[in-house]
């Protein structure tokens, strides 16, 4: 089936959960981005993603990017689709107007990013990495770097990459060996190999701007001695025109399980005398700057989880309505009927739907916090929203991507044997989803961040403050007398208690017994993500009940979906709590030599 962007659900979240109207009233820069503008932007994005980009998704899986003699050729149609994307101004949607962007709130741009990822995740990775490069330059680039490079990145003439990983340095960036040699003219010569570089080479733009981590001679050991360099594929003259080919070359691309149309390059810098690069910011602060890119990308990967889940859900629903098999157990149809009549198929579809909508709502709320953290006129409001957003990033990235594996797995299951056949397309979503729990920091790395930086560091204060906000939603639910509100109140209250018990346990154990605390890090992330997504659906339920008469079908579906989440998904937190608090010792009990 063809992709249909869930614009109505996105606008519901933007209005009622993210609070766009409040943002536009409080933040002068967003005054022109009210609900009418949001609706218009989302409608236009839906047209592009549905009509131009989505049709290339299956083709990209069958006919992926190819490498020959250092040249990468992307899937037929990608180059033209990228032109349409760039000419529509979509790359600059969230970036500053002074560089050619549109300065839209992330609250709106995130919905557009989800559509793009749903339509074609392999294609969408190129704009995602360019966004990260722009963020790093905006934060740490010189005035000259910003003036020359950002406008070209925003208009789609050039694209950006992030070069961290090396053969011996994956998650441990202290092992980075790529070196930078200072030159008399203020530039640096870069030598080294980088692997897993998304869109490190392609034919969709005239230049590629590599942001590369490397060590300057004499730099401190470990992560404190890493600097960040801007290394273009083609040298750039002072007037912005392109010069000679730089000594940065793609020596191969990977053959992957999924996202096959996205070229994942091995880049060699300096095989012919040294790649010329310029320092971004100050020496030895490269990891700090790169984390700006990574945080932007981590949120973006979380959206990819929501996006691929939604695409899998849409395909599964279409198949379930079409596939005739067996007589319904309730006898509602005399003979064989479409499988959507069967209760277990309905259970699978509701699991897919509720997980996807919960994570979409969580991501939308986080985007609003980002907007307030960066643009709110009040310093204290900025501080509070930044803290909340920082807490949310590992949940959006970790929980949403793990969720996408469950949802795309169920998508294959709904298709039955046909789901195992590549021609139906269900398997592609399952394969594409797997990378999301790995790149831009594995689920375990997100969980370590949640434990160490977001919970243990302040003794659990921020984590408990989030629970306080959830408790306020419970109070609102307690004033309702509907079956859905009662079910949500019961489940949300129990899950919050599970969460608080784990927060207390983690905060108490992290310093004295780190193995005990970190043994439960991923279960803690899954518990927290489950709770926060459920909290957002609880907020949605309250709004939907108030507005039921205005749109009975849509609002009724929101209520039913929230109730399902409350009764089928939120109860998982009890098992996670038991595993974390009572099961930590058994994780490390088996001697290493016994494995």
Q: Which residues are designated catalytic?
A: 440
For the CA atoms of 323, 326, 330, 335, the dihedral, rounded to the nearest 10 degrees, stands at 90
Are the C-beta atoms of 91 and 259 separated by less than 8 Å? Answer: no
| Beta-carbon contacts of residue 241 (< 8 Å; ≥ 6 apart) | none
Dmax over CA atoms of the chain, in Å, equals 85
d(CA 95, CA 104): 7
**253 SS3 class:** strand
Are the C-beta atoms of 229 and 248 separated by less than 8 Å? Answer: no
Task: Say if residue 416 is exposed, middle or buried (CB neighbours under 10 Å; 0-12, 13-18, 19+).
Answer: middle
Taking CA atoms, 148 is separated from 153, 156, 405, 483, in Å, by 9, 13, 41, 59
**415 SS3 class:** helix
The encoded tokens of residue 280 equal 């971004």
For 77-105, the DSSP string reads: THHHHHHHHHHTTGGGTTS-GGGT-----
Query: 306, 329, 311, 326: which is closest to 412 by C-alpha?
Result: 311
d(CA 37, CA 104): 10
Q: What is the 3-state secondary structure (H, E, C) of 189-235?
A: EEEEEEEEEECCCCCCCCEEEEEEEEEECCCCCHHHHEEEEEEECEE
Taking CA atoms, 516 is separated from 107, 170, 351, in Å, by 38, 25, 32
Query: 466, 402, 413, 409: which is closest to 438 by C-alpha?
Result: 402
- Going by their DSSP bridges, the two strands 158-163 and 207-216 should be labelled as parallel
For 524-566, the DSSP string reads: HHHHHHHHHHHHHHHHHHHHHHHTGGG-HHHHHHHHHHHHHII
3-state helix, strand, coil in the chain (%, to 5): 65, 10, 25
For 155-202, the DSSP string reads: TTSEEEEEE--BTTBSS-GGG---EEEE-TTS-EEEEEEEEEEETSS-
Q: What is the 3-state secondary structure (H, E, C) of 272-341?
A: CCCEEEEECCCCCCHHHHHHHHHHHHHHHHHHHHHHHHHHHHHHHHHHHHHCECCCCCCCCCCCCCEHHH
């Amino acid at each position: 089936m063809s992709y249909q962007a869930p614009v109505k659900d996105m606008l519901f979240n933007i209005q009622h959960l993210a609070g766009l109207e409040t943002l536009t009233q409080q933040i002068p820069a967003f005054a022109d981005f009210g609900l009418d503008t949001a609706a218009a932007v989302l409608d236009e994005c839906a047209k592009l993603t549905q009509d131009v980009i989505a049709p290339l998704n299956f083709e990209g899986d069958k006919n992926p990017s190819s490498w020959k003699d250092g040249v990468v050729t992307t899937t037929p149609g990608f180059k033209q689709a990228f032109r349409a994307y760039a000419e529509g101004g979509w790359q600059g949607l969230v970036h500053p107007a002074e560089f050619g962007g549109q300065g839209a709130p992330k609250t709106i741009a995130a919905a557009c990013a989800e559509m793009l990822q749903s339509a074609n995740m392999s294609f969408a990775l190129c704009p995602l990495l360019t966004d990260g490069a722009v963020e790093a330059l905006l934060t740490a680039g010189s005035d000259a770097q910003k003036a020359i490079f950002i406008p070209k990145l925003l208009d789609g003439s050039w694209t950006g990459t992030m070069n961290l990983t090396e053969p011996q340095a994956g998650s441990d960036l202290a092992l980075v060996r790529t070196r930078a040699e200072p030159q008399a003219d203020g530039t640096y010569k870069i030598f080294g190999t980088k692997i897993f570089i998304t869109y490190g080479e392609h034919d969709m733009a005239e230049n590629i701007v590599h942001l590369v981590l490397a060590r300057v001679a004499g730099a401190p050991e470990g992560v404190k001695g890493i600097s960040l360099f801007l290394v273009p594929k083609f040298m750039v003259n002072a007037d912005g025109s392109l010069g000679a080919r730089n000594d940065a070359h793609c020596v191969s691309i990977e053959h992957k399980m999924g996202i096959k149309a996205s070229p994942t390059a091995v880049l060699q810098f300096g095989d012919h005398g040294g790649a010329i690069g310029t320092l971004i910011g100050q020496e030895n602060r490269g990891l700090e700057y790169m984390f700006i890119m990574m945080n932007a990308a981590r949120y973006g990967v979380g959206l990819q989880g929501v996006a691929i889940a939604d695409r899998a859900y849409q395909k599964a629903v279409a198949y379930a309505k079409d596939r005739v098999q067996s007589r319904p157990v309730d006898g509602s149809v005399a003979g064989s009927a479409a499988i959507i009549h069967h209760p277990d198929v309905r259970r699978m579809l509701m699991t897919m739907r509720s997980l996807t909508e919960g994570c979409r709502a969580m991501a939308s709320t986080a985007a609003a916090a980002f907007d307030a953290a960066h643009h709110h006129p009040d310093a204290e409001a900025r501080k509070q929203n930044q803290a909340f957003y920082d807490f949310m990033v590992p949940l959006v990235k970790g929980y949403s991507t793990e969720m996408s594996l469950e949802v795309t797995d169920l998508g294959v299951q709904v298709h039955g044997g046909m789901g195992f056949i590549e021609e139906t397309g269900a398997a592609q979503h399952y394969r594409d989803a797997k990378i999301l729990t790995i790149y831009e920091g594995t689920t375990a790395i997100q969980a370590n961040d949640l434990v160490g930086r977001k919970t243990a560091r302040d003794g659990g204060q921020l984590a408990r403050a989030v629970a306080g906000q959830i408790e306020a939603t419970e109070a609102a639910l307690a004033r309702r007398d509907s079956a859905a509100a009662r079910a949500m109140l019961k489940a949300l209250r129990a899950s919050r208690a599970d969460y608080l018990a784990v927060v207390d346990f983690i905060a108490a154990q992290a310093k004295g017994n780190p193995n005990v605390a970190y043994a439960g890090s991923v279960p803690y992330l899954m518990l927290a993500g489950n709770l926060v997504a459920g909290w957002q659906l609880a907020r949605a339920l309250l709004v939907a009940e108030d507005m039921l008469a205005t749109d009975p079908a849509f609002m009724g579906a929101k209520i039913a979906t929230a109730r399902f989440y409350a009764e089928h998904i939120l109860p998982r937190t009890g098992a996670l709590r038991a595993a974390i608090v009572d099961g930590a010792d058994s994780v490390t009990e088996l001697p290493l030599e016994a494995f």
